[in-house]
Amino acid sequence: MSKYIILLGAPGAGKGTQATMLTEVLGVPHVASGDLFRSALQKKTPLGLEAKKYMDQGLLVPDEVTIAMVRERLALPDCQEGVILDGFPRTLEQAKALDAALAEEGRAIDKVLYIKVPTEELVARLSGRWICRDCQAVYHTITNPPKQAGRCDACGGELYQRSDDTPETVRRRLEVYFEQTMPLIEYYTERGVLTEVNGNQSIAEVQAALLEALKD
């Protein structure tokens, strides 16, 4: 099965939800650029504080900063057999930098799984999303509620809503996605590595479709 995998999709498409499952099945780490920024912010590092200025507005953090951060993560020993990338790359510049970094090690992206979801569904998903502060498990008030409101089923941690999941910031994030990230669909289609998966079905059905796509 492919091991260098990108999950591509709009904010709210279900990348994080599905990556959690894929990482267990494939035995390779889940690397999410948004999580790396949020973790840096929690530690109040200069990178985290810089990223916050952009994240709060729904804008992309500059390529230079993002590429350096992800390259550093990919160089760690646990990423040597493969990785599930979530939220990176998001611009053509980032995609080219990733190709170059992997090529230096004689590697390449095996598969890009494009999770496609209609815009109105994305907005509904983000407005109902709750995340565990401790283990980052993702819930939804309607489609995937925790057993006890406000508490994580997995670890009992406190659930919170992301500050960039407000209606105005979500609108901006979607605009940025259509403008700056959608061109990657063509980029990876031309390279023959992209498979589109219908993300507008249940979490379990999307999961099955992704695993099927990885068998190709």
Binding mask 4-23 for ligand AP5 (x = CB under 6 A): -----x-xxxxxxx------
Please, what is the minimum distance in Å from the beta carbon of residue 29 to ligand AP5?
16
CA distance 171 to 191: 30
Catalytic residue among 3, 116, 162, 172: 162
Cα 135 to chain center, whole Å?
16
Listed residue (126, 160, 164, 111) closest to 10, CA to CA: 126
User: Phi first, then psi: what are they for 188, rounded to 5°?
Assistant: -80, -25
Indicate which single residue of 74, 112, 125, 194 sits in contact with ligand AP5 (rule: CB under 6 A).
125
CA distance 93 to 67: 9
Nearer to ligand AP5, 46 or 106 (CB): 46
Binding mask 146-185 for ligand AP5 (x = CB under 6 A): ------------------x--------x------------
Quote the tokens at residue 48: 């985290």
What's the Rg (C-alpha) of the chain? 16
CA distance 74 to 83: 8
Please, what is the minimum distance in Å from the beta carbon of residue 1 to ligand AP5?
21
Amino acid identity of residue 16, one-letter, is G
Binding footprint of ligand AP5, residue count (CB under 6 A):
37
Please, what is the minimum distance in Å from the beta carbon of residue 175 to ligand AP5?
11
b vs e for 34-60, b when ≥16 Cβ sit within 10 Å of the residue's Cβ? bebbbebbeeeeebbebbbebbeebbb
Binding mask 48-87 for ligand AP5 (x = CB under 6 A): ------xx--xxxx----x--------------------x
Residue 129: active-site member: yes
**Residue 95 binding ligand AP5, by CB under 6 A:** no
Catalytic residue among 15, 52, 111, 125: 15
161: exposed, middle or buried (Cβ count in 10 Å: 0-12, 13-18, 19+):
middle
| Catalytic (active-site) positions | 15, 90, 129, 162, 173
Applying CB under 6 A, which residues contact ligand AP5? 9, 11-17, 32-34, 37, 54-55, 58-61, 66, 87-88, 90, 94, 125-126, 128-129, 138-140, 143-144, 164, 173, 202-203, 206
